[in-house]
Every structure is written in C-alpha cells, then in structure tokens.
Structure 1
Amino acid sequence: MRIISGTHKGRRFQVGSKFKARPTTDFAKETLFNVLQNLYEFTDLAVLDLFSGTGGISYEFASRGANPIFSIEQNIKHYEYIRKNSEALGFGDSINTIKANVFSYLPKINQKFDIIFADPPFDMEETIKLPDLIFHHSLLNTDGIFIFEHSEDKDFSKHPHFERIVKRGSVYFSFFE
C-alpha cells in the first residue's frame, strides 16, 4: 500500500498477512482522491475517518495537508498500527487516533468536519444507519461531505442527502451532502 500524493507521495506502508482490515485499494483510493481534488483544497480540512483499519485514508489526507484528522478504529491491533504508523510517517500532530466503537462515538462528537469518510466491513449490517447518524448529529460543516465506501449490495440513492455515487472496480463510494 502506498500514499498516492502530497508530501509523502510514494511512501509505502506494509500490512501484515494477519491484519483483518480490508484496506481501500490504491486503485480505488486514487479515484476517490481525484474526485476530492476537484472539490477541495486539502490544507487544513477537518477530517473524520471512520472504521480506519490500516489508516491509509487518514495518511492520504495528512500527506495532502488536512488537519485535524480523527481516525476512529475499534480493533486494538488496528488502532495500535495506525497510531504507531502515524508517528513513523511524521503525522503525529495531524492524525488523532481514537480507539472507539463508531456507533457509540458519533453521538459524543462536539465538532464538525469538512469530510467524513467511512469504510466499514462490507458485511456489517448496522452500517446502513451511518448516513442518518451523521446528519442527525449535524457532524458536517457547511459544504461538507460524507463519503461511504461500500459494496454493490447497498443503495443509498433514495436517501435525502445522497448526492452521487462513484464506482471503481467492485468498490462504490456514495457521496452525501
């Protein structure tokens, strides 16, 4: 896995074979950030990365100048990996790694974000509630977006905040505003 662009462009980070997260592929990540690059200047964007897994999305945002970034991960091994890797990459001041259950954490947040990204396990049923939770708790700044990475079996097109969908391979990114 690698960082696509920014100050750490080309830097690689390794994930062990026993790591249980399903990271966003470089191919899909590149597509996502090409879309975002046309919408935002990344410097000083406030980002919330839910179900962070390896931290790859957080590292990409940090490399492009986003700050602060809150990387939320429940699995202790993944949390530790993100925390240690953020320090090793020099992102310690930008990425705040929090070990928490996303569904318990969201109602406690008293901050708004420019971008919220969620890449939950594709088979986790309760994730269908994420768009409603984000908007119910007013977690986005004006002109902020929520991006939900999912498989083809989820359809958010009828959600009142749904904006568009971007597909790359077997990965879908639903955008909400």
Structure 2
Amino acid sequence: QMFSFIKKTAALLQLQNFKVVKSDVFRFMETCHDSFDFIFAGPPYALTTIDDIPKLVFEKGLLNEGGWFILEHTPRNNYKDFKLYKNERNYGTTIFSIFVME
C-alpha cells in the first residue's frame, strides 16, 4: 500500500528525478551506489534487525547533504540517541523517526 501511495503522491506533486524502490532493504543497501535527498523506510514492524537500518543508511552514505531519512516503526524502538536523529512524529502505534544529514 505504501509503495502505491508514494508513487501517486510523487506524480501528484510532479516530482522530478524520483525513484521508488520496493525491495529488501538490506539487499538494496548492499548493492546501491547512489545517494538520495529523501529516503523513507517502512519495514515490517516485526523485523528484528530494524535498528540496523539507520546505521547502514549513514555508513553507506546513502543520503546527500541536507537529505532526510524517515524510518517508520513502533514505540518499542527508540532512535533518539542515534547520530543525526532530529525529531519524531508519534501516531499511537506508529512512529516516524526523522534523521537529517548535515
């Protein structure tokens, strides 16, 4: 559902140079050699390795300077002590942690 929503929103906003990837996040990060202005990750909430995602995004240099990384997760995960963490939006059982590459 999120994949379709993002594609429709990008078309509605007439975004240029936009790429939506629906893939295993770890496999994608292993093979990706690009960097981005915006990354959204909405992994399954039960994913036991979810805490590795923000670490790898920054280790692999996937964000451009000034780029945003948003990670969707549950309240059981806390990223406030992570490097480049800026803020979060809490919607009950869904939290969006926001990281900004400075």
Q: Is TM more than 0.5 here? A: yes
Residues 71-125 of structure 1 show CA distances to partners (whole Å, capped at 9, x for unaligned) of 222xxxxxxxxxxxxxxxxxxxxxxxxxx42211112212211110011111111
Residues 33-86 of structure 1 show CA distances to partners (whole Å, capped at 9, x for unaligned) of xxxxxxxxxxxxxxxxxxx4xx2123213321223333222xxxxxxxxxxxxx
Number of the residue aligned with 1:62: 11
Structure 2-normalised TM-score? 0.86
**Which of the residues 95, 103, 110 maps onto 2:33?**
110
Distance 1:127 1:69, change over 3 A: farther
Structure 1-normalised TM-score? 0.52
SS of aligned partner of 2:39: strand
User: What does residue range 1-177 of structure 1 map to in structure 2 within 5 Å?
Assistant: 23=1, 52=3, 55-73=4-22, 100-177=23-100
The worse-fitting range, judged by mean Cα deviation, of 58-67 and 114-123 is 58-67
* 8 Å Cα contact 1:147/1:175 also seen in 2: yes
Number of the residue aligned with 1:20: none
Measured after TM superposition, the shift of residue 132 of structure 1 is 0.7
Instruction: Kindly report structure 1 stretches of 4+ aligned residues shifted beyond 2 Å.
Output: 65-73
How many residues align structurally? 100
Counterpart code for 2:16: N
Greater RCO (CA < 8 Å, at least 6 residues apart): 2
Structure 1: which 5+ runs fail to align? 1-22, 25-51, 74-99
The worse-fitting range, judged by mean Cα deviation, of 157-166 and 102-111 is 102-111
